[in-house]
Amino acid sequence: MRKVVISLVTAASILFTTATIDAHATEPVGQVSVQSESSYTYKTVTKVGSTKATAKSGSFKLKYNTNVRRDAGTKNKIVITAKKGSTATATHQKKVGKETWYKVKVSGKSGWVLSTLLTPAKAAAKAPAKKAAPKKAAPKATTQAASGSYTTKYNSNIRSNAGTNNKIVTTAKKGTKVTVSAQKKVGKTTWYKVKANGKTGWVSSDLLAKATKAKAPAKKTKKASNSTFSTDLIANAMKLRGVPYRYGGTTTSGFDCSGFVQYAFKQSGKSIPRATTGQYAATTKVSNPQPGDLVFFAGTYKAGISHVGIYIGNNQFIHSGGKNVHVRSMSDPYWSKYFHSYRSF
């Protein structure tokens, strides 16, 4: 028996298989059929086509860590292994069997990648909307002149400056009379600078009510007018009994002697000097004291006029001394020793 070997070579890749047939048999070999009277061993050549590269463009992302090869086909040398998510720009494509390969540039290298390992890159994200220009800071509130008399609608906090974030200077009780000296805006709220309880500070205009002017009372005789004032003065002074003594004090948190007298007069509608010596200088000596007159003492803790109280009648006076505001007899052993004079405004 003899054997005949037939080889068919194409310009593309070739695949060899081997088979043995009997004589007189007809069998295709690639594109060729061979007959012989004797047995043959032959090789069948199957063509695996690789088309020519054609132009291709587009931007892609790698679906996985991917081998980029020197030419199309898995038998070719690996140029680089590009990481998943890398951007690959295609320039050519060609078929190898049923597979399409793209020539791409990725991570600075050029090579071939199987198309199924790529996914088209998403269109460029839309340009972000322009950010709104930052709001300009609101101009600082400016203080403006203002005037007027008001009363507090409620117990109201008087603050060191306009705005609820500022420190409380004092709390004015409901109905406290305040005089406005300035104003300014904080947001939508108008704040007034006022004086209350002997302290100066700021209060929201929402907490104030315009003081109504009382109608001028019919003229009365001086004696009748003084009698009414004295009654109010003593009533207001007696309400303050028990308020603690505090040196330099002018509020219901604590009074010294002249601070108490000034406060009582103010509550009765009359302004008088602050200090004991000033009150003494503003009054006239009387020998027959009436309720509401002032009584002065000298030498209590220093030489000269040093203490003052309000005469309330029946040989008694009310003052702020010792521990608090209280009533004492003019015959008290201590105070009678330092008595100086009675005086009237």
> Cα dihedral sign for 301, 307, 312, 318?
negative
Query: What is the domain partition of the chain in residue ranges?
Result: 13-48, 54-120, 144-210, 222-344
State residue 341's pLDDT score. Answer: 97
Residue 259, pLDDT above cutoff 70: yes
pLDDT, average across residues 327-342? 97
- Sign for the pseudo-dihedral over CA of 145, 151, 154, 156: positive
Q: How far is CA 213 from CA 71, 150, 178, 197, in A?
A: 104, 10, 14, 21
Tell me phi and psi for residue 344, to 5 degrees. Answer: -135, 145
In the structure encoding, which two tokens stand for residue 91, read together? 């320039």
> One of 24, 319, 326, 340 is an active-site residue; which one?
319
Q: Do the two domains 54-120 and 144-210 of this chain adopt the same fold? A: yes
Annotated active-site residue in 24, 92, 307, 326:
307
Contact 91, 142 (CB under 8 A): no
Could you confirm whether 92 is annotated as catalytic?
no
What is the structure's pLDDT at 244?
97
Give the angle 36-37-40 at the CA atoms, nearest 5°.
55
Look at residue 11 in the predicted model and tell me its pLDDT. Answer: 38
- Cα distances (angstroms) measured from residue 174 to each of 189, 239, 307: 20, 16, 31
- Count of CB atoms situated within 10 Å of the CB of 321: 21
d(CA 255, CA 261): 9
The class of domain 144-210 in CATH terms is mainly beta
The answer, as to whether pTM is greater than 0.75, is no
pLDDT in tens, 61-101: 999 999 999 999 989 999 999 999 999 999 999 999 899 99
Instruction: Tell me the pLDDT tens digit for each residue of 196-240.
Output: 888 899 999 999 998 877 666 656 555 556 789 999 999 999 999
Residue 32: per-residue pLDDT: 40
Strand (E) or helix (H) holding 185: strand 177-186
The answer to whether 184 and 191 are in contact (CB under 8 A) is: yes
Residue 52 — pLDDT band, cuts 50, 70, 90?
Answer: confident
Query: How far, in Å, CA of 246 to CA of 269, rounded?
Result: 24
257 is catalytic: yes
Residue entry with tokens 């006029």: 305
28: Cβ contacts below 8 Å, ≥ 6 apart: 44
- Name the CATH topology of 54-120: SH3 type barrels. (2.30.30)
3-state secondary structure of 103: strand
Q: Is the pLDDT of residue 297 over 70?
A: yes
Say if strands 32-34 and 27-29 run parallel, antiparallel, or are unpaired: antiparallel
Residue 37 has pLDDT above 70, yes or no: no
Parallel, antiparallel or unpaired: strands 78-82 and 66-69? antiparallel
Looking at CATH, the fold of the domain delimited by 222-344 is given as endopeptidase fold (from Nostoc punctiforme) (3.90.1720)
Catalytic residue check, 340: no
| Cα–Cα distance measured from residue 202 to residue 162, given in angstroms and rounded to the nearest whole number | 5
